[in-house]
Amino acid sequence: MSVLDLKLERAFDVFDSDRDGRLEKSDVIGVSDRLAESLGCAPDAVDRLRDSLADLWDTVFQKMDKNHDGVVDRQEFRAAFRARIVTDQNRIWERIRNMSNAWTELGDRDGDGMLSREEYTSLLHGMFRLPRETFDEAFDRLDVNGDGQLSRDEISSAMKEYYTSENHTARGNQFFGRL
């Protein structure tokens, strides 16, 4: 399995809220609700994230459902994501960036426009339910300029590498922790 396939498998697991091996719109949108709960936010505080995830489902994920059964399985997800990356990278990336910006905004608790290590860890732990320790090494790799903060550009660049790079050493591979 290629490094991109490994990352897409992990991404699928992140979005598969109920762990049934199938993605539905409620799984994808449910990521925002998990984040609101983990951050102690009111549900309306994640409206922008919820909207960006709904748009991601409607414009990207739903089209992955090749057998039209209303759900996206792992094979459909991996094959379609790879095809979209090649043929429609700008449009898919715009939607991923919108989602990234929305949850970065939520995670930026002190409002400085950056994510500290604690903000990054809390955000990803809350959104994806991965152990907090998973993100220490990831944070160090993603903090390109070594200032102890992640800027939107660093986050955006890392996410793009995560979803597009076949390079085993790409920093973005660490976005959800070590592969």
- Residue 97: which residues within 8 A CB-CB, separation 6 or more? 156, 159
Q: Tell me whether residue 176 is in a domain.
A: no
User: In the numeric block, which tokens belong to residue 107?
Assistant: 């995670």
User: In the numeric block, which tokens belong to residue 71?
Assistant: 């759900």
Burial of 64 (0-12, 13-18, 19+ CB in 10 A): buried
Q: Tell me whether residue 177 is in a domain.
A: no
What's the number of domains the chain is made of? 1
Q: Tell me whether residue 93 is in a domain.
A: yes
For residue 116, the cross-strand partners are: 149
Q: Tell me whether residue 166 is in a domain.
A: yes
At 23 the pLDDT is: 96
Q: Tell me whether residue 83 is in a domain.
A: yes
Element (H, E) at 27: helix 25-39
Q: Tell me whether residue 92 is in a domain.
A: yes
At 165 the pLDDT is: 82
Q: Which domain holds residue 59?
A: 3-171
Q: Tell me whether residue 179 is in a domain.
A: no
Spatial distance between the Cα atoms of 84 and 14, rounded to a whole number of angstroms: 19
At 161 the pLDDT is: 85
Q: Tell me whether residue 178 is in a domain.
A: no
Helix, strand or coil for residue 150?
strand
pLDDT, averaged per 10 consecutive residues of the chain (179 residues), comes to 88 88 94 83 85 88 91 93 70 77 86 93 78 84 94 86 86 83
User: What is this structure's pTM?
Assistant: 0.79
At 73 the pLDDT is: 96
Q: Do residues 122 and 150 make contact, with C-beta atoms less than 8 angstroms apart?
A: no
Indicate if the alpha-carbon torsion angle 82, 98, 31, 120 is positive or negative: positive
In this structure, what CATH number is given to the domain that contains residue 86?
1.10.238.10
